Amino acid sequence: MKGRNLRSCTALRNGRMRYLASVSARAPRGTNLRDNKRARCSAYSRTVRTGIEVAVFVTRRSGSEVLIVHRSPEQGGYWHVVAGGVEPGEAVEEAAGRELLEETGLIAEAMATVNVMYAYSLSEEPADRQSLYDPSIAEVEVNCFHVSAPDDWEPSLDWEHDGHRWCEPGEACAALRWPDTAEALRKLLMLDAK
């Protein structure tokens, strides 16, 4: 089954506003979050992680191109997909839509075309990021989603990324840092083609 096409989603906009309000509340008074990368990073880093994350695979041109994003040096400096943590009380589908909007500006309903999930040991995270997780978390569960973007769409990246590129699926899999992410992409695209 193909991923659903884009559609406007008020819930995602509302989630974005709640997110911005929560970041603003944690930032120093008078901080302009749009222009102040350090304040955004600092507010972001105080969020306690739940141990559940989402990965959103964005394709266009009938799945022939896959979006990969380059994490900024503060975020590790590697090629990945749109991804992030599920906040307390948030459904994984909501988190996928929120991360997509925050990291690329795309408003879409992220579809779990198949139940593709994987987990990784928290020990794989850099030491400074391990402290962001609840101490009881030893493994991070990743729920994967797919979104089909318009053929001419380009992302508007946030502070977490310093570059992007559109690749054919094999090239995208080879460029991704984490083998589990590449395997999830292969599974999603293979099953979507059926």
Q: What mean pLDDT do residues 67-74 have? A: 95
pLDDT digits (tens, 9 = 90+) for 43-55: 444 455 678 889 9
List all residues 6 or more positions away from 129 whose beta carbon is below 8 Å from its beta carbon: none
Q: What mean pLDDT do residues 77-84 have? A: 95
Domains, the chain: 10-193 (3.90.79.10)
For 112-163, the DSSP string reads -SS--EEEEEGGGS-HHHHTTB-TT--EEEEEEEEEEPPTT------TTEEE
- Is the pTM value of this prediction over 0.75? no
Helix (H, G, I), strand (E, B) or coil at 91: coil
Q: How far apart, in Å, do the first and last CA atoms of the chain sit?
A: 7
Q: Do 141 and 51 touch, CB atoms closer than 8 A?
A: yes
